[in-house]
Chain A
Amino acid sequence: MITKVELQNFMSFGARQAVSLQGITVLVGANNSGKSNFLRFPSFFQAQAKQGVDQRMGRFDDDFRRPARDPSEPLVLEWEVNGPDGLRYTLEVQRVGLLGGWKSLESCRVSGQELYRGHGGVIAAGTPAPGGAIFQGYTFGGAQWGGVAVDSLRHRDGANPPGWPARLVDPVMSARRVHLSLEALRNDGVPGNVELEESGNGLAATVATWRGNDPDAAEEYDRLVSTMIPELKRVLVTFVDGKARLCFEQKDGEFFDAHQVSDGVVTFAGLIAQALEAPANGLVLLEEPERCIHPARLEAFVDVLRRLVVDRKIQFILATHSPKLLSLFRDEPESIQTFVRGKNGTVVRCLADRADLRETLERAHPGDLLADGVFNSEEL
C-alpha cells in the first residue's frame, strides 16, 4: 500500500506537498483546487516509464507547473509504500537549457539509505548506487533501471526485473484512474482482448469475457452489484449485431438493457467492474464516484470499497464533492485530505491535522463543512 505521495511543480502543485494515504483516502476541495491533478500522478509515472522521460517530456511540458515558480526547480514525484523498511521511489525531472530538453533523476531508498540512483542513462544490471550497495537482498539483476532502462518495467509482458521490490512499483504502474462517462459505459463491445477504459468504455465486453471465461469473477461482480442495488440479481450481456450489450436481470425476473436502466445502475456497474479489474494490492483512483448515485446508496458503495480493501488489499483514492460521501468518513479524519489552490499552487492538508477545525468538527460532520465551503479557505 502506498502510504505517502509527494509532489512538487507537478501540474497545479508548486511547493512540495506530502499527501498521506490510507486504504481509502478522500480528497475534497473546490473546483480547480488540484484534486484531479493529484489523481494523475500514476499516469504520469506510467507514461514516463513506458516512453522514457525524455520522450514524454520532450513533446510537451504540460506536466510542469505553469507558471514555474523557479525554472531551475525540478518536478518531483515521490512515493513511499508501507513496510518496516520505508521503501521509497523518487523521480525528479528538470529542464536543461532554454531550448528544452530534460534531465531526469530517479532514486530508490530503503530505510533512508539510497538503494539506487540513475541519471537517465543506461545503468548496468545490478549496479549499486554510487557509494551504496545492493541492500537487504534486493537486486536489479537482469534488468536496468533509470532513463531508457525503465522500459523493462512494463507490466504487459510481466517484465518486472527479478527481485525488484514489486510492492514499490506495481501499485502505481498498475493504477487505474476512473472517470466514468455514461455514454461510454453503455457502449456495446466485442468480447476478447479488451481493456476496460477509465471512461467505462469496454464494460459490456469485459462482462461478456467474465461470463464466458471467468465465472468466479462474474459471480463476484453480481454479488457486489446486488449488494449496492438489492433489486438486481445479475449483470449479463445480450448480443446485438455481433456486439455485447449490458443487460441487467432483476430479482423479479425482468430484464433491462444498458439503454433502459437508470444512469445510477450503469454507474454502479461501471464502478464495481473497475474495482474488480484492479489487481490485488492495486490502486484505484475514482473521480467523483457519487455522480448519478442516490445519496442513501453511497453508504453501500463505500462498504463495498471497504470490503475490497480488506479482502483484496486494493487501495482507493476518491475525489468527491459529495457531503454525504464525505461524512461516511467522519470517524477517519486521517483519511480525508483537503485541497486548496494557494498562491504557490495546490496546498494539501489532512483533516486530522486541521487544528483550526477540531472544535467545529465536534459539532458538525465533515460533509456539513464541505457543503458550507469551509474547506475552500486558503488560510490553512
Chain B
Amino acid sequence: MKVGVASENNNYDAIVYAHILRKLIGVPVEPYIPQGMSFNGCNAVAKLAPTFLSRCLQAGVRNAILAVDNDGGSQRRLEHADDHALPATYDESTECRVCWLHGSITTSWVVGNGRCSLVVPVQTLETWLLVARGQPPEPPVGRPEGYFGRAALKRRLFGKGTLPPMADRCAVAIDALESPYALDRLRERHSFMRFEAGVRDWIA
C-alpha cells in the first residue's frame, strides 16, 4: 500500500510513519513522497499541502498523512482534542497545529471520493517512540505530552551528542516500535488512539 507522507524528514519521519502504519494495518506500507518535495516545518507542510495531495492523486496514491510536530518544542501548545474548532488560518492563540493543518487540506481529500488524508496528532514523533520503548516522558502536571521539547526528546531517544545519521535513527525507531508491548503502550496515549481511529477509517 502506498501512502503519501508529508513530514519534516523524508528519510526518517516518513519511514517511521510507514512502519507504524504497517503495524496498524497489517500490510506493507510504502511511503510516497512526490519527487523533489521536502517540508521544512509546519508552515511548509501547510503551504504545500494542496500541491502535495494533488501530486499524490496524480501518482494514484489515495491515502496520505500530514505530519508535523504539534508543539514545535514549545511548552505552550495544547494537545489536539476532537472538540477543537478548525481555524481557517493559523492563529497562535489556538495553539493547535493539528487543527490548523486540517484547514489546509483540500476539501476533496477530507470528505471522501475514495481518498483520505489524515493529520497526525502527535506532539512530537519521538514522544510515541519513547512510549513504545517503555520510556514515556514524565507527564508534567497540567501539560500535554511533548512537554519537554524536540531537542530533549531526541536526546532521550538517540543519546547525547551529535544526532546519528538517518539510517541509524530509523533503526532505533523501528527497534522501539518492534518492542513486545509497543502498540499496547501507544494505545494508552490519546494522540495515538486518534491516529489509529483515523487509519481504521481508511480501511473501512
Contact (Cβ within 8 A) A332 B151: yes
Contact A306 B40 (CB under 8 A): no
Interface residue count on the B side (C-beta < 8 Å): 24
Cβ < 8 Å to B, chain A residues 199-257: none
Chain A window 285-321, contacts with chain B (Cβ cutoff 8 Å), 1 for yes, 0 for no:
0000000000010010001101101100000000000
Could you tell me which residues of chain B, from 53 to 97, have a CB within 8 Å of some CB in chain A? Answer: 72-76, 92
Asked whether A306 and B38 contact (CB < 8 A) given A330-B150, A362-B73, A362-B74, the answer is no
- Would A335 and B73 count as touching, CB distance under 8 A? no
Chain B residue numbers with a CB within 8 Å of A349 are none
Cβ 8 A contact of B151, one of A23, A306, A309, A331:
A331
Chain B residues with Cβ under 8 A from A327's Cβ?
Answer: 40-41
- Interface contact B11-A309, CB-CB below 8 Å: no
**Which among A24, A310, A333, A335 has the highest number of chain B CB atoms within 10 Å?**
A310
**Chain B residues in 8 Å Cβ range of A333:** 151
- Residue B110 at the chain A interface, CB threshold 8 Å: no
Fill in one digit per residue for A324-357: 1 if any B CB lies within 8 Å of its CB, else 0. 1001001111010000000000000000000000
The answer to whether B161 touches A363, judged by C-beta atoms less than 8 angstroms apart, is no
Q: Is the interface of A mostly helix, strand, loop or mixed?
A: helix
Enumerate chain B residues within 8 angstroms of A365, measured Cβ to Cβ. 40-41
Contact indicator B163/A332 (Cβ below 8 Å): yes
> Residues of A within 8 Å of B, CB-based: how many?
23
For B147-171 the 0/1 string (1 means CB < 8 A from A) is 0011100100000011111111000
A365 CB to nearest B CB, Å: 6
| 6 shortest interchain CB distances as A-B pairs | A23-B162, A306-B165, A362-B74, A307-B165, A331-B151, A331-B154
Known: A303-B11, A310-B164, A310-B168. 8 other contacts (CB 8 A): A22-B162, A304-B165, A327-B41, A332-B151, A332-B162, A335-B162, A362-B74, A363-B92
B-binding residues in A (CB < 8 A): 22-24, 296, 299, 303-304, 306-307, 309-310, 324, 327, 330-333, 335, 361-363, 365, 367
